Amino acid sequence: MPKTLFEKIWQDHLVADLGNGSHLLHIDRVFLHERTGSIALTGLAERKLQVRNPAHAFCTMDHIVDTRPGRGDETAMPGGREFITRTRQETRRAGITLFDINDPRQGISHVIAAEQGIALPGLTMVCPDSHTCTLGALGALAWGIGSSDCEHALALETLRVIKPEQMAVYLEGDLARGVTAKDVMLHLIAEYSASGGRGYAIEFRGSGIGQLPVEARMTLCNMAVEFSAFTGLIAPDEATLDYVAGRPYAPVGDQRDAATAYWRQLSSDDGAVYDRELRVDLADVEPTVTWGTSPQHAVGISGRVPDPGNESDEAAGRAMQRALDYMGLNPGTAMSSIPIDAAFIGSCTNSRLSDLRAAADILEGNKIARGIKAICVPGSSRVKLEAEQEGLDQVFRDAGFEWRESGCSLCFYAGGEGFTRNERVITSTNRNFEGRQGPGARSHLASPATVAASALAGFITDARITGN
Amino acid sequence: MKPFTRHRGVAAPLIRVNIDTDTIIPSREMRRVSKHGLADGLFAGWRYLDTPGGKRENNPEFVLNKPHYAGATILLAGNNFGCGSSREHAAWALVEYGFRAVIAPGFGSIFHGNAVRNGLLPVKLPEPAIDALNEYASASPETNRILVDLENTTVRGAAGDEFGFVIEPAHREMLLQGLDAIAMTQQHLGLIEAFRAADRQRRGWAYLDAGQATTPALIKASISVSVKSSS
């Protein structure tokens, strides 16, 4: 019987069918960070359990660590230091590799797991962080878990999982110039709602995948969780194999040959069946921006803030009205006229080198609008270094952006820094929830190009019109 | 973990769609490396008024601050409850506050798993059923209590108003018996060992513990190697 990519990886990791719908799956890699990883390691120690295979577990400092230049263990968050020192102590005790604050490999977990070759095609990987699905872009089965499951994965190299249903999202055709993977995901979620992919293992496939660079595929899979999916994944192709080759933790020599042979057959068979199939015609997607407090509150940049009165679903209409009240917006307002106070480029969604290049292309030789607070936070210390080698930091600085150290930073409030009440932020991040970027802060999700163009103009702006 | 068999309690309505885990417990409320001390932070953004000096004052409009709902142990919610971040703090905070069950048309996947691991029962019911339960409960919250019965997988509101719900058998079993996942899997250590031995032969490339990259010298060298760009 023809199998899907997901089915193949699942079966290759199936230790036992536990009955009652539950399966015991082997977990190849566990990634931790200082916020929830510290708790999982502490929980394990309290139960007098050991990390079963420390060589397959890694940890970074990304969530709470300060991103302001000259940082140390102190953070803007009260009590933040405890997370950092405890993580250092617990990872050392467990024998886990830690990418500490001043390690040149430090960065956002999902960025560096790919960068270091820790995530590989065909592996299972978990992290107590919902955006672990990012790594599905490499053809890994990677998903976010809670602390209890994390303790289980660390102690027993396995997880008890109920097998998810499968969805195929076909991306067909060509993206228009200036439209990105971020726009595709906001478009998809707006169309089918933030719960449209709930519980599914989603394979992104179709003719549109091949044209997307691997980093853009990471943006696609990253946002799968905003679609409420179990995870997103993409079959590895030659671009994936090329991306993986030579990474520090990737296999070498004979093992590399064996891995490559395995990876080359790792795709869905013709005729494989999915529980649900969706299709996005890429030509229909324009730069897309959110107007509300859920990723489903998104609209093309040439569109307007919708009217809750026109919503047929009553609950959704009420949520829209609440969102408009929170966001301080009126129905019918043209999206590309909304003034902003701040611009943020960063996060596991859009902080890789290609994202910074796209923003810098627009910023080069220009200045941000007067009074705008603009911040760029590279996704890893390595991305930061590479960007600096290309002179991108100077482009950002000259335009008026702050240039930060790597971490999750102002994507959310964990590090203790936030935008202020009613401050309107155009942001390359993944969540526009109430209070996500600071109590009362108003977030508009968009691609790095849209963020850059909007920072220059001082209002939400289509990068294709105003860009260089 | 506290087993869940049957529970009768005050049901508080928070019928909004997409209540995310950032809303259930904001990042700034997760102050310590701990699974405890989180109840005060539950729904902090909605529950408290913004007061100068940082002192917390209850928002009288928020449902859990209304006297009738002071003892609420069941939450009636909108679709996709617990979407977003994987933070298990959301489940810990709800449990610590005193909630035993959340009834919603659907849940975020990671939150759902976290709830089960912590003895918090996620009950999936369609909107009309939740509306009916809400209508009954809100008429007199303290006396019109809702009965959630996991043994029979039913929820009972007004007389004669009973709704069946579906839950994965594995989840039901864990909740009914208050089982611990790690302890259960430890019984299968032999299977895990056997899988690993065979898997190592099959997929040697996936194993780092005997591999090249754990060599300190190589790791050190890799730090200085400039990485390839991906596109």
In this prediction, the answer to ipTM > 0.85 reads yes
pLDDT at A414: 73
The answer to whether the CB of A124 falls within 8 A of the CB of A13 is: yes
The answer to whether the CB of B150 falls within 8 A of the CB of B176 is: yes
Strand partners, A33: A60
Both structure tokens of B166: 């579906």
Residue spans of beta strands (DSSP E) within B64-133: 72-77, 101-104, 121-124
- Find the helix packing angle between B109-117 and B169-177, rounded to 10°: 30
Alpha carbon B230 to its chain centroid, in Å, reads 37
Q: Angle at CA A60, nearest 5°, toward A58 and A61?
A: 160
- Compute the residue count for chain A: 468
Is A2 near chain B, with CB under 8 Å?
no
pLDDT at A78: 86
**Other beta carbons within 10 Å of B132:** 16
**Other beta carbons within 10 Å of A176:** 14
pLDDT at B51: 74
Residue spans of beta strands (DSSP E) within A176-327: 201-205, 231-233, 276-281, 288-290, 298-300
Is A421 near chain B, with CB under 8 Å?
yes
Nearest to A132 by CA among A119, A121, A122: A119
Where does the pLDDT of residue B44 fall: very low under 50, low under 70, confident under 90, or very high at 90 and above?
very high
> Which of A105, A144, A322 lies at the smallest CB-CB distance from B110?
A144
193-232 in chain A: CB under 8 A from chain B: 194-195, 198-199, 213-216, 225-226, 228-230
Q: Are strands A442-445 and B57-58 parallel, antiparallel or unpaired?
A: unpaired
Share of chain B above pLDDT 90, in %: 84
pLDDT at B160: 87
Cross-chain Cβ contact A158/B192 below 8 Å:
yes
pLDDT at A165: 97
Cross-chain Cβ contact B16/A322 below 8 Å:
yes
- Domain(s) of CATH 3.30.499.10: residues in chain A: 22-162+237-261, 288-466
Both structure tokens of A156: 């027993």
92-111 in chain B: CB under 8 A from chain A: 106, 108-110
Judged by average pLDDT, the poorest of A73-77, A122-126, B58-62, B173-177 is A73-77
Q: Which of chain A's residues have a Cβ under 8 Å away from the Cβ of B115? A: none
- Compute the residue count for chain B: 231
CATH code for residues A166-235+268-284: 3.40.1060.10
Cross-chain Cβ contact A156/B186 below 8 Å:
yes
Q: Render each residue's pLDDT in chain A as its tens digit; 468 residues.
A: 999 999 999 999 999 999 988 999 999 999 999 999 999 999 999 999 999 999 999 999 999 999 999 999 999 888 899 999 999 999 999 999 999 999 999 999 999 999 999 999 999 999 999 999 999 999 999 999 999 999 999 999 999 999 999 999 999 999 999 999 999 999 999 999 999 999 999 999 999 999 999 999 999 999 999 999 999 999 999 999 999 999 999 999 999 999 999 999 999 999 999 999 999 999 999 999 999 999 999 999 999 999 999 988 888 889 999 999 999 999 999 999 999 999 999 999 999 999 999 999 999 999 999 999 999 999 999 999 999 999 999 999 999 999 999 999 999 987 789 999 999 999 999 999 999 999 999 999 999 999 999 999 999 999 998 654
pLDDT at B221: 46
Cross-chain Cβ contact A386/B110 below 8 Å:
no
Helix H or strand E encompassing A374:
strand A373-376
pLDDT at B230: 38
Domain A22-162+237-261 top-level CATH class: alpha beta
Single-letter amino acid, residue A226: E
**What are the tens digits of pLDDT across the range B204-222?**
999 997 544 444 444 454 4
Cross-chain Cβ contact B35/A439 below 8 Å:
no
Domains, chain B, ranges and CATH? Answer: 6-179 (3.20.19.10), 188-230 (no CATH)
pLDDT at A315: 81
The answer to whether the CB of B124 falls within 8 A of the CB of B163 is: no
Cα distance between residue A214 and residue B75, in whole Å: 42
pLDDT at B34: 93
Single-letter amino acid, residue A446: A
Domain A288-466 has CATH 3.10.310.30: no
Nearest to A288 by CA among A190, A412, A369, A218: A190
Both structure tokens of A276: 């649900």
The answer to whether the CB of A123 falls within 8 A of the CB of A141 is: yes
Cross-chain Cβ contact B191/A21 below 8 Å:
no
Where does the pLDDT of residue B55 fall: very low under 50, low under 70, confident under 90, or very high at 90 and above?
confident
Alpha carbon A99 to its chain centroid, in Å, reads 19
Q: Which of chain B's residues have a Cβ under 8 Å away from the Cβ of A157? A: 192, 196
**What are the tens digits of pLDDT across the range B87-142?**
999 999 999 999 999 999 999 999 999 999 999 999 999 999 999 999 999 999 99
- The DSSP secondary structure of B101-120, one letter per residue, reads EEEES-B-HHHHHHHHHTTP
Q: Which of chain B's residues have a Cβ under 8 Å away from the Cβ of A84? A: none
Q: In what order do the strands lie in the sheet with B72-77?
A: B121-124, B101-104, B72-77, B6-14, B146-149, B154-156, B162-164
Cα distance between residue B26 and residue A200, in whole Å: 26
pLDDT at A465: 86
pLDDT at A326: 98
Task: Quote the minimal CA–CA distance from B67 to chain A in Å.
Answer: 24
pLDDT at B214: 43
The average confidence (pLDDT) of chain B is 91
Cross-chain Cβ contact A414/B109 below 8 Å:
no
142-181 in chain B: CB under 8 A from chain A: 168-171, 173, 181
Q: Angle at CA A219, nearest 5°, toward A328 and A300?
A: 40
pLDDT at A313: 85
User: Which residues contact residue A267 at a Cβ distance below 8 angstroms, ignoring those fewer than 6 apart?
Assistant: A5, A235, A236
